[in-house]
Amino acid sequence: MARTIGTVTVVGLGLIGSSIARAVMARLPDVTVTGHDASAGVRAEARALGLCHRIADDPADAVTGADLVILAVPVGRMADAARVCAPGLKPDAIISDVGSSKSGVGAALRAALPDHLVIPAHPVAGTENSGPAAGFATLFEGRWCIVTPAADAPADAVAALTGFWQALGARIETMDAAHHDLVLAVTSHLPHLIAYTIVGTASELEEVTESEVIKYSAGGFRDFTRIAASDPVMWRDVFLANRDAVLATLQRFNEDLTVLQQAIRRGDGDKLEAWFTRTRAIRRSIIAEGQDDPAPDFGRKH
């Protein structure tokens, strides 16, 4: 008999958690969603926004009776969040998360909840904004949700979780947790590290350029500042949790940067043009996959 999800609890009501709650309310009328956040202020804001059918003040109370519990907290706090929820979990509940790193998070959750079923997941979606007011019900539409079940995870539970994310509009990919971490180190974690670095460098140059860095910021720098505006606590935890894959990817990036540095120094225009031609093709592939807007200037309104 297929496993069904009729009750969902979202622990952590920031951008992703509040978007999950909104999407459930909008797309799954037969599913009851309960929310909890460690911050009393966030809980009050969530109640005012009507994010869930119920906002619980106590984490164990929040998960009581839930078929699916989704931990939408920074990856460094996943294990603690799981432990405080544990007393209220029913035996057959599915425990999942939305973290951007999977190997460490999966191990931490299984250690915190040894008697419960943990199936990690990562919806690859988001904005630079945070907090319960930042979420929206369509955040996951057309975006990928990567599910990383253990080899012995029950097939019916994996199907129930993937079906839940598909109902929220996501596209599903299933992969090994370690492979996920390597892929995301390339596509998400390293770009954020570069953005934080270049914006920090620009900040240090502000006095030298008499504020011209900000005044004359072009589209490329504006995009870096958008990425660098992401939640600092969340990204601190991501880099620490996925340090091996990030460091390996950073080493490769530094090697490639050296190649370009040498090409510029030597006046090797052919090398630069070949590199830029290949990277432009990647951008076009992302648009073809429906993962970004092909409108001029990234769809900005002027």
Q: Which of 122, 90, 92, 93 is nearest to 106 (CA)?
A: 122
Query: 17-73, pLDDT tens digit by residue?
Result: 999 999 999 999 999 999 999 999 999 999 999 999 999 999 999 999 999 999 999
Query: What is the predicted pLDDT for the residue at 49?
Result: 96
Q: Which of 49, 59, 50 is nearest to 12 (CA)?
A: 59
Per the CB < 8 A criterion, the answer to whether 244 and 238 are in contact is no
Give the C-alpha separation, 202 to 210, whole Å: 11
Per the CB < 8 A criterion, the answer to whether 99 and 120 are in contact is yes
Per the CB < 8 A criterion, the answer to whether 108 and 79 are in contact is yes
Instruction: Count other C-beta atoms under 10 Å from residue 147's C-beta.
Output: 22
| Confidence band, pLDDT 50/70/90 cuts, at residue 98 | very high
CB-based contacts of 18: which residues, under 8 Å, 6+ apart?
10, 35, 46, 49, 51, 131, 132, 133, 134, 135
Query: 145-199, pLDDT tens digit by residue?
Result: 999 999 999 999 999 999 999 999 999 999 999 999 999 898 888 988 988 888 8
Per the CB < 8 A criterion, the answer to whether 8 and 165 are in contact is no
Residue 297 has pLDDT above 70, yes or no: no
Per the CB < 8 A criterion, the answer to whether 15 and 129 are in contact is yes
Q: DSSP assignment, residue 291?
A: S
Q: What share of the chain is helix, strand, coil (3-state, %, to 5)?
A: 55, 10, 30
- The DSSP H or E segment spanning 174 is strand 171-174
Query: What is the predicted pLDDT for the residue at 285?
Result: 74
Classified as helix, coil or strand, 137 is coil
The sheet that has 171-174: what strands, in order across it?
121-123, 144-147, 171-174
Classified as helix, coil or strand, 34 is strand
Through-space distance between the first and last CA atoms of the chain, rounded to whole angstroms: 54
CB-based contacts of 242: which residues, under 8 Å, 6+ apart?
100, 101, 103, 104, 181, 184, 185, 189
* Cα distances (Å, whole numbers) of residue 9 to 17, 21, 88, 134: 10, 9, 11, 19
| Confidence band, pLDDT 50/70/90 cuts, at residue 302 | very low
